[in-house]
Structures are given as C-alpha cells and as structure tokens.
Amino acid sequence: MSAIVRTEDLAKAFGSNAVLKGVTLEIPDKKVSAIIGQSGTGKSVLFKTIMGMMKPDRGKVWFKDIELTSLPPGELIAMRRYFGYSFQNAALFDSMTVGENLAFPLREVLRLRDRGEVRNRVAEMLKWIELPGIEAKRPDELSGGMRKRVGVARALIMRPEVLFFDEPTTGLDPVLSETINGLVIRVNKELNLTCVMITHDIPAAFRIADKISFLDQGYIIADGSPKEVVASEHRMVKDFLRISFSELKV
C-alpha cells in the first residue's frame, strides 16, 4: 500500500510533558486507518501535528512527496485544504444554521462568492449524508448523531483527499455508532478518500480499518493490518486488546 501521509521521528512536548517522542508512521492512500491506544497518549496531538495545526519539536511530515514541516506558514496553510477534520464533538457554530455551518469553509477558505454554487454544494452534501433539507435548522435542534454527520459533511465539503475522524462515535449509542462507522466506510469507498480515525471503539476499528497503529508512551508500538496487530507480543497491546474485546462480550 502506497502512503499518502508519512511521519518520521515526530516529537511534541508541552513543557516537561513529552507527548510524542518519536512517531514514525505511514498512512496508506485510499484506505481506512485507525490510531488506537489508551486515553491521554497523544492521538489528537498526532493528528494536529500532521495537519500543521501544531508545530512539532522534532521530526518530519510528508503529504505525498511534499514535506509539510519544511513549508513556510503561508504555504502550509494552503496545503491544509487537502485535509478534512471531523471533530469529536462536531464543533459546529451554535450561532449559525446548518447551512451556514457548511457554507463557512466554502466562503472563508475557498473564497467561493457564487451564492448559487455554495447553496448547491451545501444541499448536495446534506443529501449525501442522508439529511436533506435541514439547512435552516440550528445545531441545538439536532440529535447527537445528526450533529456528528453534519460535522463530517462540513469536513467533506471542501473535497479533501484525507479525512481525519477524531473519536467519531463518542457519546453515541450502539445503533448510532454503527451509523457513523458506516459513514466512515462510505467516505472511503464512495468518495475514494483516505480516512484516518482515532477511536476507542476497538471492535469497530478492527472490523473496518485496513491498518491499525497503536500509540503508547509517545511511540507507535504496534503497526499493521488488524491481524498483525492482534498477533503483537507487546504486553501493553495484548492487555489493551484483551480487555477491550472481553468488555464487548459482557
């Protein structure tokens, strides 16, 4: 599998707290990848460092053959249009309608000024996530699952090549969680996008991901196909997966 995103020896600390200590990772193109591990191990920091939202203390990030970590700020910001980010809590603007939320990146990032085109792209995206006609609703009128889907739609509307999902099923019941996991698969298969997800839904990750990377203590300690990660002899990986799958049986 060819990599669309690569990191080499990526490190990031906040004061004396070293979160990433040397992360080397490859994200395969047009596949679904999952980053798993215990809470507080720096998975979201890894995402934001890859996207250039945080500057690493050491290491390199490539998007295709472009080293993002060597770009000047203006060029790095321009490269972010190739990345979409679906936030854990959807991060919709409460003061805006759904339509205005989706139109925001089109107007502010892509600088689209044709109202008809903006309106059509918003309607097209809402139809694709199976929530047509809700442009006038406000975020507080939506259920948790609907907000998650609108958050994904806003990330997709700029037509990125890589979509990052930060805990896409957190706070949802099992039925809604399956809906969102199904949406991740649709984004990958129907839109042909690379999908990378942080998730604590371990069974779902092993079911839908082509590649899994286990982050612990600032390093990737297991990396490969679901079968390869399950076969890892690393004690942390074995204990984490044993507990995760035993909870599912309960």
Position 123 pLDDT exceeds 50: yes
pLDDT tens, position by position, 222-235: 999 999 999 999 99
When comparing pLDDT for 198 and 173, which is higher? Answer: 198
- Tell me how far apart the alpha carbons of residues 212 and 224 are, in angstroms, rounded to a whole number: 6
Range 116-126 average pLDDT: 93
Residue linked to tokens 């490859």: 26
End-to-end Cα distance, the chain: 36
When comparing pLDDT for 70 and 249, which is higher? Answer: 70
Question: What topology does CATH give the domain 71-195+215-219?
Answer: Rossmann fold (3.40.50)
For the chain, where do the domains classified as CATH 3.40.50.300 start and end? 71-195+215-219
Quick one: pLDDT at residue 169?
Answer: 84
pLDDT tens, position by position, 43-66: 999 999 999 989 999 999 999 999
Counting runs of H as helices and runs of E as strands, what totals does the chain give?
9, 10
Per-residue pLDDT band for 184 (boundaries 50, 70, 90) equals: very high
Position 96 pLDDT exceeds 60: yes
The residue among 146, 84, 89, 132 whose CA lies nearest residue 109 is 84
Query: Whole-model pTM?
Result: 0.90
